[in-house]
């Protein structure tokens, strides 16, 4: 069946869907980055717990942030913005070029940090240029979307924070050790970290969750009010924290921490319907619950650091970042990508068969539920182990957590491969009635 005929016979939203290669290239690279991160932590756990090499730690963290988290979110946006927002992407070649710049620049940045090359800010600039190029295409389609709901507002904010993050990251890399641009380098790093963790990652995930988490998307008026409160509290807290860290000496950090924690609590409040006979438990819902448990720990640690409940030192900060990225962001991403990736494959391969006599598999049949449950169990163990190893400066515990995460990452890569196999061998999966 030719592409035009397929689109004509498929559902209407097939006409606004992007070429599957755009989101899938992001997902594939992300699936490679997660095990690479885990393997790097396992191999150098002694140095990471002792903070012997700051560049090693910085490079390793950026494997996770640039390679796993940012690639997955950008890939999800490639699908969600045109399909959910009902606005097709234009200039897809520009978006693909941006992906190449972002991916190669990110890899070069990590390699420069690990190798000790002093001009790593050049690679960071290339990665930032690629990210901004991708964002320009996505933002243009996003601006044309007729669907202006709260998820749209979250995505808009995440676009703005990611652009600010890219620019600030280059400036911090260029100004490292000089203090010419930012008088308080420590405050600049705190702002940079939270622009990434909250401005880009959490805000994008919050927006996607409003459309992909069933009991959130189907919430009533109380859920919509909680979602609005969460958005306003989170954005206000982040803006205050970033400005305070960059320019005002970090004087009101407890206030910003309280606003951010309140924003998380307001978002989590929408999970109430799950306790009242919501959807039956499946891997995506289990990942979501795990993410909110990790988010509660992350918020508590942030409040503890802001109020001085424990020492604001390297071990506690490292554990804080691990809980944010591995304990909260990673399970939420897995919860959502387990919906997006199979749907994208089904949309590309089987949606055109909707008006034919061919019996196509369902979306759930495009991946393995058993593998997804294995991913969940491994991640549920890896998140607390890694945090404990960093906070206690125990290389053996951190290594155990990293190896567990490595196994979970490989299981996810295999599961994604099962879905992708339908793109390369679709005829083997089609069954006539």
Q: Tell me the average confidence (pLDDT) per consecutive run of 10 residues in the chain, 433 residues long.
A: 40 68 92 96 86 80 94 91 86 93 95 87 89 91 89 92 82 65 77 91 89 57 76 95 88 93 89 60 87 94 91 88 95 89 82 65 84 96 96 94 97 92 62 39
- Would you say the pTM of this structure is higher than 0.85? yes
Task: Quote the pLDDT of residue 188.
Answer: 82
**pLDDT for the residue 66:** 93
The Cα-based distances of 367 to 343, 364, 370, 413, 414 in angstroms read 10, 6, 9, 11, 9
Please report the pLDDT score of residue 218 as a whole number: 43
pLDDT at 73: 93
CB 299 within 8 A of CB 245: no
Q: At what angle do helices 395-424 and 369-392 cross, to 10 degrees?
A: 150
User: Would you call 93 helix, strand, or coil by DSSP?
Assistant: helix
Q: Where are the domains of the chain?
A: 3-421
Domain 3-421 belongs in CATH node 3.40.309.10: no
Q: Report pLDDT for 1.
A: 34
pLDDT score of 382: 97
């Amino acid at each position: 069946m030719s592409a035009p005929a397929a689109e004509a016979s498929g559902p209407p939203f097939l006409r606004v869907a992007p070429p599957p290669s755009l989101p899938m290239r992001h997902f594939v690279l992300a699936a490679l980055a997660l095990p690479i991160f885990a393997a790097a932590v396992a191999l150098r756990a002694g140095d990471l717990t002792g903070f012997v090499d700051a560049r090693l730690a910085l490079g390793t963290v950026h494997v996770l942030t640039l390679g796993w988290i940012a690639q997955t979110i950008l890939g999800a946006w490639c699908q969600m913005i045109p399909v959910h927002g009902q606005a097709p992407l234009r200039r897809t070649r520009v978006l693909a070029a941006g992906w190449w710049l972002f991916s190669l620049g990110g890899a070069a940045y990590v390699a420069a940090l690990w190798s000790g090359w002093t001009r790593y800010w050049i690679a960071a600039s290339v990665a930032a240029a690629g990210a901004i190029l991708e964002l320009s295409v996505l933002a243009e389609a996003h601006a044309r979307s007729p669907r202006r709901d709260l998820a749209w507002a979250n995505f808009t904010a995440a676009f703005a924070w990611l652009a600010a993050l890219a620019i600030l990251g280059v400036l911090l890399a260029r100004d490292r050790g000089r203090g010419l641009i930012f008088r308080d380098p420590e405050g600049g790093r705190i702002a940079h970290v939270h622009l990434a963790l909250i401005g880009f990652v959490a805000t994008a995930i919050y927006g996607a969750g409003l459309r992909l988490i069933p009991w959130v998307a189907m919430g009533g008026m109380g859920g919509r009010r909680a979602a609005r409160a969460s958005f306003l509290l989170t954005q206000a807290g982040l803006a205050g924290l970033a400005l305070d860290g960059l320019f005002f000496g970090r004087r009101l950090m407890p206030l910003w921490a309280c606003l951010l924690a309140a924003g998380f609590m307001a978002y989590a409040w929408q999970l109430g319907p799950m306790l009242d006979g919501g959807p039956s438990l499946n891997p995506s819902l289990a990942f979501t619950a795990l993410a909110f448990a990790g988010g509660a720990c992350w918020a508590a640690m942030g409040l503890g650091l802001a109020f001085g409940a424990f020492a604001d030192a390297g071990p506690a900060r490292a554990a804080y970042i691990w809980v944010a990225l591995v304990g909260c962001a990673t399970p939420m991403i897995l919860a959502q990508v387990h919906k997006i990736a199979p749907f994208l494959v089904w949309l590309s391969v089987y949606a055109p068969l909707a008006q034919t006599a061919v019996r196509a598999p369902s979306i759930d049949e495009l991946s393995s539920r058993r593998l997804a449950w294995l991913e969940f169990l491994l991640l549920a163990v890896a998140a607390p182990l890694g945090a404990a190893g960093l906070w206690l400066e125990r290389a053996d515990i951190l290594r155990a957590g990293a190896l567990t995460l490595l196994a979970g990452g490989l299981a996810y890569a295999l599961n994604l491969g099962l879905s992708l196999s339908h793109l390369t061998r679709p005829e083997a999966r089609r069954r006539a009635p």
